[in-house]
């Protein structure tokens, strides 16, 4: 099994997975080059330039960073606090653009060129700071694969599946699919389905259980593979179980990168209908998956974690098991009033219809539904172990690479404990597991590896290939 990437230092991660962009010499080198080029672009020039225009550019840069941070806070886009370094580089980037504009007239041709060069370099430094915060791309290779839309691990074409029947490949196969949205009308990107080796054995596919995988707010359907590195973990599980594992479907809950639907039906699209009325029937009909609700689970992190519990408690006739990794108390898009307006078009009744705690209380006792909450604890002075909910001891070192303050999003804080308490009151078997970490993809990857054996058992994954026939 691959090393636990969540607890590796940047140097160790680089040794195992390629050139790290979360730490080490590359991010520092980007910062140094950007600073040197910007210093040359600013130059000494004239007294008026130094006393008037350089301060003006600095003020513009700071103003741009403040506007960006205000927007992030207003939209509720962050669960962990953004590091100061991100906003410093945002200010430097905006300021470098101002330097190029106000200093263009009267500048020599070479300084104009350097001024233009400083803009993408400072932007790259700001993006590097952003990436170190959220852990979106752990290595240069993963970032390049996303930019170039390169093939994912074990990827094969849908049209090639019939020719692979009656075989037992060493690893599973990942298939890119375009799922019709006739029921939902939801505009979405292509999604992915993982088929374990046992799916290919015999003339017809076995009726395997299914796990629906949902990523966070800013996502693509391929993020679980590129940033979450789940493929080696799933293949390792299948290898240790005679080629048997659940079918995994990596869904598109946003439709586009910056569309935060929170998996509800509303002004941002009918995301809930897409997942329940488009994706589930498609996977059953196309890949012969089990139709039993007891054989279907949902796992997600961040926004996806909220989706996982929400879909399950709203549709126990479709799903029986959820894994909520660092989700909120419920679908959230800012404050309560902002959420009602942005997600439900101002209809407060629809807020209640999608609020997991409200849904569980209204539904009453459930039968055969279970859940696992994986939560992060404060890295500094954390005392929240929640042993009464089955939490395991916190890890000695934080999971993830980002730089953070000792602060947590108020809606995510205690969400796992609160929701699990409500769930237990309506006969949902749940537990809360807390580790020290940050809201990063490294934490999500760690959580997926930790929850996979439990989740696979809960959705009744056969223990051998023969049992899957």
Tell me the C-alpha distance between 250 and 259, whole Å.
17
Last residue of a domain, one of 72, 100, 134: 134
CB 244 within 8 A of CB 464: yes
How confident is the model at residue 403, as a pLDDT? 41
**pLDDT > 70: percent of the chain:** 84
**Backbone φ, ψ for residue 379 (5° rounding):** -65, -25
Residue 318 lies in a domain: yes
Q: What is the pLDDT of residues 221-265, one digit of tens each?
A: 998 998 888 999 999 999 999 999 999 999 999 998 778 899 999
Radius of gyration over alpha carbons of the chain, in Å? 24
Query: Where in the sequence is the domain holding 123, given as residue range(s)?
Result: 23-134
Q: Could you say which of 76, 104, 134 is where a domain stops?
A: 134
How would you classify the pairing of strands 265-266 and 247-250? unpaired
pLDDT at 13: 41
The DSSP line for 161-224 is TGGGTT---SS-EEEEE----TTT------EEEEE-GGGGSSSS-----EEEEE--SS--TTHH
Q: pLDDT (tens digit, 9 = 90+) per residue, 286-345?
A: 999 999 999 999 999 989 999 999 999 999 999 999 999 999 999 998 888 989 999 999
Q: What is the pTM of this model?
A: 0.79
Half-sphere exposure of 456 (CA within 13 A, CB side): 23
Q: What's the rounded Cα separation, in Å, for the pair 269 and 42?
A: 46
CA dist 355 → 262, 360, 437 (Å)? 11, 9, 26
Q: What is the DSSP string of 334-399?
A: SSHHHHHHHHHTT-HHHHHHH-HHHHHHHH---SS-EEEEEEEE-TTT-----GGGTPPPPPSS-B
In a shared domain, residues 97 and 229: no
What pLDDT, in 10s, does the model give residues 77-110? Answer: 665 567 888 999 999 999 999 999 999 998 999 9
| Phi, psi for residue 182 in degrees, rounded to 5 | -60, -40
Q: 396 burial class (0-12, 13-18, 19+ CB within 10 angstroms)?
A: exposed
Report if residue 15 sits inside a domain.
no
* CATH code for the domain of 282: 3.40.50.1820
| Per-residue pLDDT tens over the stretch 335-357 | 889 899 999 999 999 999 999 99
Specify whether 127 is located in the same domain as 254. no
Specify if 140 maps to a domain: no
Structural domains of the chain, count: 2
| In a domain? residue 6 | no
Higher pLDDT, 75 or 171: 171
Residue recorded with tokens 């350089």? 54
Instruction: Assess whether 273 and 397 both reside in one domain.
Output: yes
């Amino acid at each position: 099994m691959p090393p636990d990437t969540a607890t590796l230092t940047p140097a160790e991660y680089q040794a195992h997975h390629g050139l790290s962009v979360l730490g080490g010499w590359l991010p520092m080198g980007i910062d140094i080059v950007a600073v040197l080029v910007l210093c040359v672009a600013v130059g000494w020039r004239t007294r008026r330039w130094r006393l008037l225009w350089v301060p003006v550019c600095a003020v513009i840069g700071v103003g741009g960073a403040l506007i960006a941070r205000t927007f992030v806070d207003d939209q509720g886009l962050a669960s962990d606090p953004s590091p100061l370094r991100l906003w410093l580089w945002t200010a430097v980037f905006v300021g470098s653009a101002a330097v190029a504009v106000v200093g263009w007239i009267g500048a020599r041709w070479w300084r104009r060129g350097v001024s233009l060069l400083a803009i993408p370099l400072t932007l790259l430094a700001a993006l590097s700071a952003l990436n170190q915060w959220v852990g979106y791309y752990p290595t240069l290779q993963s970032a390049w694969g996303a930019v170039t839309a390169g093939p994912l691990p074990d990827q094969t074409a849908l049209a090639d599946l019939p020719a692979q029947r009656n075989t037992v490949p060493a690893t599973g196969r990942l298939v890119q699919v375009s799922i019709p949205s006739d029921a939902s009308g939801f505009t979405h990107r292509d999604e992915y389905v993982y088929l374990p080796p046992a799916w290919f054995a015999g003339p017809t596919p076995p009726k395997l259980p299914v796990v629906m995988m949902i990523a966070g707010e800013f996502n693509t359907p391929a993020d679980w593979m590129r940033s979450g590195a789940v493929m080696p973990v799933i293949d390792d599980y299948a290898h240790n179980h005679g080629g048997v594992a659940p079918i995994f479907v990596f869904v598109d809950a946003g439709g586009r990168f910056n569309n935060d639907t929170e998996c509800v039906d509303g002004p941002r699209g009918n995301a809930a209908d897409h997942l329940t009325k488009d994706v589930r029937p498609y996977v059953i009909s196309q890949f012969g998956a089990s139709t039993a609700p007891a054989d279907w689970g949902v796992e997600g992190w961040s926004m996806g974690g909220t989706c996982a519990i929400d879909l399950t408690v709203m549709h126990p006739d479709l799903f029986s098991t959820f894994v909520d990794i660092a989700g909120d108390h419920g679908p959230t898009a800012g404050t309560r009033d902002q959420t009602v307006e942005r997600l439900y078009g101002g209809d407060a009744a629809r807020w209640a219809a999608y609020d997991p705690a409200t849904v569980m209380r209204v539904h009453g006792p459930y039968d055969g539904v279970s859940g696992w909450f994986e939560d992060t604890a404060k890295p500094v002075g954390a005392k929240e172990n929640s042993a009464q909910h089955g939490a395991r001891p916190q890890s000695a070192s934080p999971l993830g690479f980002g730089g953070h303050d000792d602060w947590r999003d108020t809606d995510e804080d205690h969400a796992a404990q609160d929701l699990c308490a409500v769930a237990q009151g309506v006969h949902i078997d749940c537990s809360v597991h807390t580790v020290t970490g940050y809201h990063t993809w490294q934490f999500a990857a760690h959580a997926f590896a930790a929850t996979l054996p439990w989740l696979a058992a809960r959705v009744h994954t056969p223990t051998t290939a023969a049992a899957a026939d």
